[in-house]
A and B are shown apart, each in its own frame.
Chain A
């Protein structure tokens, strides 16, 4: 049976996460065979489909381009997927807010379970996924005829972009009278996407206020880093919630993660403890973050950050 990957995209761009999901699909393909197809759903998504066709290992890109799919609302996109999945044994998507919204709907309508946020493929029916905020790794096997899966991008390396898949149009249009898009407010940022950045520097409650997050800007610029935050910093209103790293925010696994003024609660660690190198800067030498940090620097962040910026 073939494998269908739901393309992740926003702002007219194919999201990097899609290439990681295709890698997970290839791991399944090694065991079960079959083709890997990508489905691009949305409105005015031709350029996204072109980008998806370049991903290595993809046989076919299927494009459902219609106003009803704009903003990828769960009701119409779920209904479309239910129509299309009969040809497939697996359907995969990135564990993004978009797919987390849609995929369980599809699973329920097909009367199968969903396997959330896999980090490894043991076999075409057996997967590893973190539970309890990443404090345990479960191995699960599904005997469902259709496996509906979301993929944690940080568990799989992205595939290359030398592919040349065919692109075909999906004409299926579904109706949606239940939900209507009203507006969205997206945080503006010139920095790399948090989930895909090679370096992440995050601030916590220790930053004191939102203004002080500017202390991270210069360092982030010099390192080409994305800026993240702990839930405490978000809840205190220092920064918007899309910057949150943790169990309930984004999961990151960069080469270098710098935690500034973050104590290291379980919830936060769940979002970053797979980073290659972790640096903690905190004035409290007992802070739990030092138990996972490769390099810890105890001291006042208001002195350390400007010094760090000037030395980089």
Chain B
């Protein structure tokens, strides 16, 4: 079966972000960008399914500016067979991404779609669920284990109290949690080979999807700064401070 994997270009997770002086958004000029960590895990899982002989083809897809092709090339270097870039410079909300991905799902008819559980920039945790809803497919979110078994897939999910295992009929949508796997690094020869792999460029218009959202971003601010505290010299001093100064004991 074919596996579709969605990736997002985001600010590198190690970067300390800056809010723009006019509070319109976070400043992304000259900032290191990378593949969203949860998407890396999704790609790794798709590639592993191919290595196990479960997947016959892995197709990577992204929605974003031209520069997002770097992340598609990364996915190709990691083992995806081909890529689809839906190019737009607009700020695309989860719902619009899900609508675009639903069109790709309709066109490509994958047996499984793997996404990250959330992007580390917007922290929405919505797209996979929305895609499942729009495609009329079952969902296995926050997956820490995925086992394809005939026309079903068993998904172990990370839930608040521990773990839950469910069975979904295929095709299905999976979103990856951190513990699903440990992504590999792309080797130089694979990075070279990835440059020759097919990458289709489309636009939201090609799919007839309007990306404008009814949610507008009014303002972005830095959170309240915490005051740097004091260092204490001993356990006794710590307990004394907690009791008498902070009054939390």
Q: Residue A105 contacts which of B133, B157, B221 (CB distance < 8 angstroms)?
A: B133
Question: Can you give 13 contacting A-B residue pairs, CB < 8 Å?
Answer: A71-B164, A96-B160, A97-B157, A105-B130, A113-B215, A139-B217, A179-B167, A184-B165, A242-B161, A248-B178, A290-B228, A294-B246, A311-B235
Q: Mark B7-30, 1 if CB is under 8 A from A, else 0.
A: 000010110110100000010000
Contact B126 A104 (CB under 8 A): yes
Q: In the complex, what residue of chain B is closest to A145 when comparing beta carbons?
A: B214
**Which of A33-41, A43-51, A296-304 forms part of the interface with chain B?**
A296-304
A234 to B232 alpha-carbon distance, docked (Å): 29
B203 at the interface (CB under 8 A from A): no
A74 at the interface (CB under 8 A from B): yes
Q: Which residues of B contact A296 (CB under 8 A)?
A: 229-232
Q: In the complex, what residue of chain B is closest to A199 when comparing beta carbons?
A: B248
Find the residue from A102, A111, A195, A297 having the highest chain B CB count within 10 A: A297
A62 to B148 alpha-carbon distance, docked (Å): 38
Number of interface residues of B (CB under 8 A): 81
Q: Residue A113 contacts which of B11, B17, B93, B138 (CB distance < 8 angstroms)?
A: B93
How many of chain A's residues touch chain B, expressed as a range? 35 or more
Q: Residue B16 contacts which of A103, A135, A181, A183 (CB distance < 8 angstroms)?
A: A135
Separation in Å of the B93 CB from the closest CB of chain A? 6
Separation in Å of the A245 CB from the closest CB of chain B? 13
A71 to B159 alpha-carbon distance, docked (Å): 11
**Which of A84-92, A161-169, A208-216, A271-279 forms part of the interface with chain B?**
A271-279
Q: Helix, strand, loop or mixed for chain A's interface?
A: mixed
Known A101-B141, A102-B129; 16 more pairs at CB < 8 Å: A75-B138, A100-B129, A101-B129, A105-B129, A106-B133, A111-B95, A113-B214, A137-B221, A139-B220, A182-B167, A242-B161, A247-B120, A250-B160, A266-B16, A292-B226, A295-B242
B158 at the interface (CB under 8 A from A): yes
A149 to B243 alpha-carbon distance, docked (Å): 39
